[in-house]
Structure 1
Amino acid sequence: MKHFALRIIPLTVGLILFSQCFTHAWNYAGHRIIASIAYDQLDPSTQTAMLELLKQHPRFEQDFQSRMPDVIKNASPEIQNRWIFMRAATWPDLARSFNDANREKYHHGTWHYINQPIYLDSASEQVLSRALTANVATSIKEGDDPLLFNILQALEYCVKKMKDPAVSKADKAVYLCWIMHLTGDSHQPLHSSALFSKKTFPEGDRGGNSIRIGKSNLHSQWDGLLGNSFKYSDIVGHAVGIARNPAMKQLGEKATQQMNFSAWINESHELAREKAYCPEILEAARKSEAADGKFQKLSALPPSYYQQAGTIAAKRAAQSGWRLAELIKNVQ
């Protein structure tokens, strides 16, 4: 049997940033780092209960068991269990690639975000705020279509389903995956916000997806801030590095005092407004607005931007991990 030596990755996130590829939604590594942090905050009985529930997932064999790497299959049950738990946090992103019938059933694109507006200027706010098309509801109202929920509505919905004794274990396993994933997404600043302007972004910049930077975009760069490794030891090591950092541990524990989903999104929105949409991006948007309205790609942002963003990402991972554990305790 093989054993894993967990490599504790120092919390110097800024040094990691320039070797990364960027993908979507706190990427594979990001969601799993958050899940691993949460896993270690659960007592053994809760860990076991959540794993038993996940094994009732309607696609457990297809998306979990058959996709488990040989190195994990040959490892200890403890490692296998953590792998399953971390896999659950990324499952809603896997649903993007399902075939037509299963994609329609399990993939919910609007659930991952809310486009709370950040207006480029007062003129844009005056014109666009009166006819905002983005779904910025903070809760579910009677008659709302679940297929059109934003992240706040989706979290509310999934928690309600998890607490409903009439809901099957198979369905609860699916909702647990979504709760794990959306808790992570709610702490990514660009899943909370969109930049709006009269000419360039009248319907928003899609959470930074329309802000081209080099070969990537602003949203994808933030999604990749926690790393891009697919290796179990790297991911768990990074999670342990965050969780054992005294300042991060204190931050995570304090975060559990605020379990209101809207508060999580408001934290992210403030970070998007104050940090993610930096002066260089806003200046490029203003130039585009004054010209033909087509955003001109930026070649790069300053190294200091990525260093600060990496620190923010690590803090949000700590807050998200501790809050996810607390949420799981409340819905089991």
Structure 2
Amino acid sequence: MPTTLLAFLSLLVALIGIPSESRAWGQEGHSIVAELAERRLSKGAKEVLEAALGPGVSLASISSWSDDWRANGHNETKRWHFVDIDVSATRPYDPLVDCKHEEEGDCIVAALDRFTAIISDPNVSPSDKRAAVMFITHLIGDLHQPLHCSERDHDGGGNLFFVTFDGRKEDRKEAITFHSLWDSVLILERIYSWGTMVADIEASVMPGINAKIVAEGSFADWANECHAAGITAYSLLNEVPPKAHDKDYPLPLGTPYADATVQIMKLQLAKGGIGLARVLNTALGTGNSDAD
């Protein structure tokens, strides 16, 4: 691992440390993925994580930290959070096309490869391991949010596509981005606390999943699966008005869209939790979870 990256990790941990809470997938989605993963960690991985993060620090509590770091002026990490592949693409993820190094970083697949190499190295310092764990916890959540792996007509994963949302619980009369809808609004439409969604997924989604199969594959494979979910997220929209890039002409959405996408949303959160547990167990522990 390049010494410049390790030095960067040590510096950011020294400056920021472990936050007691993070700002607002949004904060709720990342907390859900992190909690689902923590319940599936091996004993060995739990012990290493406790040594790296500190006693009593949960994965959920640090799951949004890297968003805060980026928001505090560190744009060199911006592209680590996504890989934009157009929904019209008929090819799989291609690093030469989708993960070019730019001033704002390369892409989420490359970033996760780097951070996983760091936590797998027994000679890495505790501060480097801690920072890498914090990034991994967040980025694997991002890798399962459909609009972090897809876009349509260069809309930046829905960040340049505006909608309103009128649902049962959430009511967003002002224009928001389609990306924000998937980051938080569709989750908040269903829950009053993220713990409620964890319980729902454990009861209604996890029993129907073969966790061993879900956990297989590389980060590139997961990006392709996430992109497929993004294709569905866009395909379930009504016809998009030509001016939807202008927030004065947003596409109205509501309960029908939330109902049509709720199972996709829950499944992606579940896959994120299973995938995060696999990465941490393999890199830090025995490779087997306590839930197996």
Q: TM-score, normalised by structure 2?
A: 0.73
Cα distance in 2 for partners of 1:36, 1:298 equals 34
CA contact (8 A) 1:252 1:318 kept: no
Contact 2:161 2:246 in 1 (8 A): no
Task: Show the counterpart of 1:74.
Answer: none
Residue of structure 2 equivalent to 1:95: 69
User: Partner letter of residue 36 of structure 1?
Assistant: E
Q: Is residue 118–residue 124 contact of structure 2 (8 Å, CA) maintained in 1?
A: yes
Residue identity opposite 2:139 in structure 1: L
SS in 2 for 1:280: coil
Q: C-alpha deviations, 1:69-110, integer Å up to 9, x for none?
A: xxxxxxxx8xx44xx321121110121343x5xx46xx6111
Q: Which residue of 2 aligns with 1:37?
A: 36
Aligned partner letter, 1:221: L
Partner SS for 1:152:
helix
Q: Could you tell me which of 306, 313, 316 is aligned with 2:258?
A: 306
What do the CA deviations read for 1:137-182 (whole angstroms, capped 9, x no partner)?
A: 3xx9xxx579522011111111112122343210111111111111
Q: Distance in 2 between matches of 1:88 and 1:164?
A: 21
Does the C-alpha gap of structure 1 residues 44 and 258 become closer, same or farther in structure 2, counting only changes over 3 Å? Answer: closer
2:138 pairs with 1:217:
no
Give distance in 2, aligned partners of 1:230 and 1:53: 32
- Counterpart of 1:116 in 2: which secondary structure? coil
1:296 offset after TM fit, Å? 6.3
> Per the alignment, in what secondary structure is the counterpart of residue 87 of structure 2?
strand
Out of 110, 132, 144, the position equivalent to 1:153 is 110
Q: How many residues in Structure 1 have an aligned counterpart in Structure 2?
A: 247
Q: Confirm or deny: 8 A CA contact 2:37 2:277 kept in the other structure.
A: yes
Q: State the partner residue of 1:109.
A: 78
Letter of the 1:226 partner, please give it.
Answer: I
Q: Which moved more, 1:45-54 or 1:168-177?
A: 45-54
For the pair 1:165 / 2:122, whether they are aligned, the reply is: yes
Aligned-residue CA RMSD (Å): 3.3
| Residue in 2 that maps onto 1:269 | 227
CA gap 1:147/1:165 in 2 versus in 1, 3 angstroms: farther
Q: Cα distance, 1:302 vs. partner?
A: 4.7
Q: CA 1:330 to 1:228, structure 2 compared with 1: closer, same or farther past 3 Å?
A: farther
* Alpha carbons of structure 1 residues 296 and 28: separation in structure 2 relative to 1, 3 Å: same
Give the direction of change, closer, same or farther, for the CA distance of 1:319–1:51 in structure 2 (3 Å limit): same
What per-residue deviation string (whole Å, max 9, x for no partner) do you get for residues 114-149 of structure 1?
111234xxxxx9xxxxxxxx9503xx9xxx579522
Q: 1:97 to 1:230 in 2, by over 3 A?
A: farther
Q: Hey, what's the Cα distance between the residues in 2 that align with 1:147 and 1:174?
A: 19
Question: Which structure would you say has the larger Rg?
Answer: 1
Unaligned runs of 5+ in 1: 1-23, 56-76, 120-124, 126-133, 197-203
Gap regions ≥5 residues in structure 2: 1-22, 90-95, 165-174, 285-292
CA distance in 1, matches of 2:243, 2:201: 39
Contact 1:41 1:325 in 2 (8 A): yes
Question: Counterparts of 1:177 and 1:249 in 2: how far apart (Å)?
Answer: 28
- How far the C-alpha of 1:229 sits from its partner, in A, is 11
Q: TM-score, normalised by structure 1?
A: 0.65
Partner of 2:52: 53
Aligned counterpart, 2:283: 331
**Kindly, what percent of the aligned residue pairs are identical?**
24
Is the Cα contact below 8 Å between 2:163 and 2:247 reproduced in 1? no
Distance 1:315 1:267, change over 3 A: same
Q: CA, structure 1 residues 118+235, in 2 after alignment: closer, same or farther (shift >3 Å)?
A: closer
The answer as to 2:218 corresponding to 1:260 is yes
Counterpart in 1 of 2:98?
Answer: 136
Distance 1:158 1:307, change over 3 A: same
Paired letter, 2:180: S
**Deviation for aligned residue 1:230:** 11
What aligned pairs does 1:186-265 form with structure 2 within 5 A after superposition?
Answer: 186-196=143-153, 204-214=154-164, 215-224=175-184, 225-227=186-188, 234-245=193-204, 247-251=205-209, 253-265=211-223
Q: Which amino acid aligns with 1:172?
A: K
1:174-189 → structure 2 map (5 Å cutoff): 174-189=131-146
Which one of 253, 257, 270 corresponds to residue 318 of structure 1?
270
Secondary structure (helix, strand or coil) at the match of 1:301 reads strand
Q: In 2, Cα distance between the equivalents of 1:51 and 1:303?
A: 41
Q: Deviations over 1:189-243 (max 9, x none)?
A: 10001112xxxxxxx1010011111221100000113338998xx3334213212
- Hey, what does 1:67 align to over in structure 2? none
| CA distance 1:240–1:294, change in 2 (3 Å) | closer
Aligned letter for 1:253?
A: A
